[in-house]
Amino acid sequence: MYNFLLGSLTLKEERGIFMTKITDRLKRQDVPAEQTWDITDLFADNEAWEHELESIQNDAQQVVSFATKLHTNGETLYEALKTLEQFQQRMIHLATYATLQISTDGTNSEHQGRMAQVSAVLAKIGAKLSFFESELLEIPKITLDQFFNDVPDLHVYQKMLNDIMKKKPYILAPNVEKTLAALGETLNAPYMIYERSKASDMNFRSIQDADGNELPMSEVLYENKYELTADTIVRRNAYDSFITTLDQYKNTNAATYATAVTKEVTMARLRGYDSVISMLLQPQDVTKEMYENQLDIIQKELAPHMRRLAKLKQADYELDELLFCDLKAPLDPSYAPDLTYDEAQKLILEALDVLGPEYSKMMNQAFQDRWIDYSDNIGKQSGAFCTTPYGAHPYILTSWTNMMPGAFTLAHELGHAGHFYLAGEHQHLVNTSTSTYFVEAPSTLNELLLGDYLIKNTDNPRLKRWVINQLLDTYYHNFVTHLLEGEFQRRVYNLAESGEALTADVFCTQKKETIANFWGDAAVIDDGAGLTWMRQPHYYMGLYPYTYSAGLTIATAVAERIKSDGEPAVKQWLDVLKTGGSISPLALSQKAGVDMSKPDAIRTAVAYVGSLVDQLEASYE
């Protein structure tokens, strides 16, 4: 999520991908360099990072020197904002370097220490610079308008200033805001505790296959292989091991998550918002109607299509009953196309060539200049993400497993990278980060383009069926997994605001009910499903989960426009990417030719999912 002082955006995905076989995982120091990202593009070495960490604490005074002066005149305000922006870029690079290290090896104590160091320093600097926003809020609108007339260059910061001014009714006294900024590290501790526990403390018992062979088990193996395997015995045994460990940590994790929710609810009340949902939607620049449209329409209208898909899987596997842990089992399980990393690179570049030479050049850079860390090593964070430090190139984390689903994950993350690389080239730092409501559109569009390319360029009916199923996995990921997380969040916030005690049992009950309401009688939803609220870090990121569905809704419409209109639609889309966050997410979607203020695009996307299920059913008939 975007932060006023840090000005950065890290997009985390929890996207499972197949592994060809289970191997002993390498230690990080044994991974070949070509499989890792090049963090020397940020800092030459750890010593250079430590020197910058020390320097930035002294240089904070350059920004602090503008305290009490922001209202003086337009020129002073402009210089202050420019100084802050330059300082932000340095903070982003410091934080990104530490984050990249710990995400590739969370067991390394030096990485843990570096992360703790930068968190403490940035919290300290944040307290010093907390005056900035509070002083901006004290400038009368008529005065600010005059500043814009006097200093035309100040218009670069107009959207940022407008967004800050929207907070004016909800700002507390300056000394209170300063105190809250000083407590930033403590107030954000629940997320750090959750991640540390998940990466370093959870141990899972090994499992057995049908022949009694023992298989290693970990959270990464479950997320990336076992949940998605066609072997029903292994899949169900892995699920039992997975939820057994989750159950052991549920009370600690519940206390951690409840603390985060209580903090948000308390802050919403202190600041005078009518609800915590309203507070969390404000930085997204999204109306409550747009938020509720995504949750309500998709849950109601998509469920029948996904239940048909579940019944298709049950028949394909000849199961007496489909369990919750079977829902992600692949259709046509005997067909699992292999794909090396080099083959995936070629395939992705060919598929995205439709977006033109400028975009293709970027994608080539990502592969050639080591933007991507694709090793699978001990201590590496599961899932995939893209982080986009302004003034440097993006960084993508994934774990390559020599199977074709990994190409879709990689294309997705490259969508984020291309978006923010273009935005960074055409916008100031303050105007690069896009609302999370829109941010998944460029990434999921790449997945849809990859799927369309594969379907058009093969005569293999099984591969076409596989691709359709893969596209359905994308919609499952965004329209089911993350959307139901969003529904779970809505329930939790409503309970918290009504005074309900948030315990592990409450979380498990709400999660299970959310899942069961969607799937109906298409699958058996056991109590273990209720524990799966512990799987995702998104609950610590505000109202992030539901936005996946918004992004894919936009992407679905844009993909159809590119197929029907060709180059004009591509040019329009690239212009949208270059616009960054300089306009609202609604305006961005409208600029792309999609009006998200109305439910039409959501219903169109749901209908498209239904058509994919139709094609699958027909292929089996």
Residue 72 belongs to domain with CATH number? 1.20.140.70
22 has pLDDT over 60: no
- On whether residue 404 sits in a domain, the answer given is yes
Kindly state the average pLDDT of the residues 135-157.
94
Instruction: Express each pLDDT in 203-231 by its tens digit.
Output: 899 999 999 999 999 888 898 889 999 99
Cα 563-565-567 angle, rounded to 5 deg? 95
Model confidence pLDDT, tens digit, residues 467-494: 999 999 999 999 999 999 999 999 999 9
Domain end point (choices 187, 213, 245): 187
Instruction: Name the band, by pLDDT with cuts 50, 70 and 90, for residue 179.
Output: confident
* Domain final residue pick, 140, 162, 187: 187
361, 492 contact by CB (below 8 A): no
Domain span at 181: 28-187
Question: Would strands 395-397 and 384-387 be described as parallel, antiparallel, or unpaired?
Answer: antiparallel
pLDDT > 70? residue 59: yes
Instruction: Locate 356 and state its tokens.
Output: 């033109």
Highest mean pLDDT range out of 173-177, 228-232, 291-295? Answer: 291-295
User: 202 falls in which pLDDT band (50, 70, 90)?
Assistant: confident
Determine, yes or no, domain membership for 243. Answer: no
Query: Residue 384 above 60 pLDDT?
Result: yes
Let me know: does 15 contact 477? Beta carbons within 8 Å.
yes
Residue 546 lies in a domain: yes
Instruction: Specify if 455 maps to a domain.
Output: yes
pLDDT of residue 6: 47
As a whole number of angstroms, the longest Cα–Cα distance in the chain is 79
Which tokens sit at 401?
A: 């497993």
CA atoms within 13 A on the CB side of 75: 0
Classify residue 492: in a domain, yes or no.
yes
For residue 13, the model assigns a pLDDT of 53
The DSSP bridge partners found for residue 395 are 387
Q: Does a structural domain hold residue 279?
A: no
* Residue 200 confidence (pLDDT): 79
Average pLDDT value over all residues in the chain: 92
Q: What whole-number distance in Å separates Cα of residue 438 and Cα of residue 547?
A: 7
Do residues 94 and 49 make contact, with C-beta atoms less than 8 angstroms apart? Answer: yes
Burial class for 260, CB neighbours closer than 10 Å (0-12, 13-18, 19+):
buried
Instruction: Tell me: do 337 and 478 sit in the same domain.
Output: yes
How much is the pLDDT for 20?
37
| Number of independent structural domains in the chain | 2
Residues 372 and 520 reside in one and the same domain:
yes
Q: What mean pLDDT is predicted for residues 273-277?
A: 96
Is 174 in the same domain as 307? no
Boundary-marking domain end, from 187, 213, 241:
187
| Alpha carbon distance 423, 427 (integer Å) | 6
Q: What is the pLDDT of residues 547-560, one digit of tens each?
A: 999 999 999 999 99
Burial status of residue 33 (CB atoms within 10 A of its CB: 0-12, 13-18, 19 or more): exposed
Q: From the CB of residue 120, how many other CB atoms can be counted at a distance below 10 Å?
A: 12
**pLDDT at residue 21 is higher than 50:** no
CA distance from start to end of the chain: 45
Query: Does a structural domain hold residue 244?
Result: no
Residue written as token pair 């199977």: 403
Window from 93-97, 185-189, 262-266, 353-357 with minimum mean pLDDT = 185-189
176: its two tokens: 């209170």
Helices 600-620 and 461-475, interaxial angle, to 10°?
150
Taking CB atoms within 8 Å and a gap of at least 24, the contacts of 204-207 are: 204/241, 204/242, 204/244, 204/245, 205/241, 205/244, 205/245, 206/241, 207/234, 207/237, 207/238, 207/240, 207/241
Distance from C-alpha of 310 to C-alpha of 521, rounded to nearest angstrom: 10
Beta bridge partners of 12: 385
Tokens of 378: 């001990």
Two tokens at 26?
């390498």
E-assigned strands of 307-452? 372-373, 384-387, 395-397
Give me the pLDDT at residue 357, please.
96
What confidence tier does 10 reach under pLDDT thresholds 50, 70, 90? low
| Distance, CA of 289 to CA of 595 (rounded, Å) | 13
Distances (CA, A) of 21 to 210, 400, 402: 16, 12, 9
CA dihedral 9, 356, 15, 290 (to 10 degrees): 60
Q: Name the 3-class secondary structure at 570.
A: helix
Q: Could you tell me if 34 and 162 lie in one domain?
A: yes
The reply to whether 208 falls in a domain is no
Q: Is the pLDDT of residue 67 over 50?
A: yes
Residue corresponding to tokens 């023992």: 214
Q: Which amino acid is at 72?
A: T
Q: What is the CATH number of the domain that holds 433?
A: 1.10.1370.20
